[in-house]
Amino acid sequence: MRIDTFKIEKILRNLAHKDPSLFRAVQKKIIQIAACEPAEVEHFKNLRYDLSHLKRVQVGSFVLVFRIKGDIIIFEDFDHHDRIYKNRF
């Protein structure tokens, strides 16, 4: 599957400077998600209610939010789990 990280590139650039170990963990998780078959991506947790078109995966105490559009995985946001869902989507 192809990936699109356009929406989180700035977050990832800042993260690479501030917390390189977390940045490597996020990179590893993105690669893991991209390597999945389309049916396997469905095992990641779906969000509910108005965010039901999104999926999430935990990276430590942070959350990586993404959606699937055809054969493209679009990463939407990455933030601490206390702040990720507040007035974002």
Confidence of residue 88 (pLDDT cuts 50, 70, 90): low
The answer to whether the CB of 41 falls within 8 A of the CB of 73 is yes
CATH code of 2-80, in short, is 3.30.2310.20
Query: Across residues 53-80, what is the average pLDDT?
Result: 95
Q: Are strands 72-80 and 2-4 parallel, antiparallel or unpaired?
A: parallel
The answer to whether the CB of 8 falls within 8 A of the CB of 16 is no
Query: Across residues 43-68, what is the average pLDDT?
Result: 95
What separation in angstroms does the CA of 4 have from each of 19, 26, 74, 83, 84?
22, 14, 5, 22, 19
Confidence of residue 39 (pLDDT cuts 50, 70, 90): confident
- What pLDDT is stored for residue 38 in this prediction? 85
Return the amino acid letter for 28: K
Taking alpha carbons only, the member of 80, 81, 77 closest to residue 67 is: 77
Share of the chain above pLDDT 70, in %: 97
Number of H helices, E strands in the chain: 3, 5
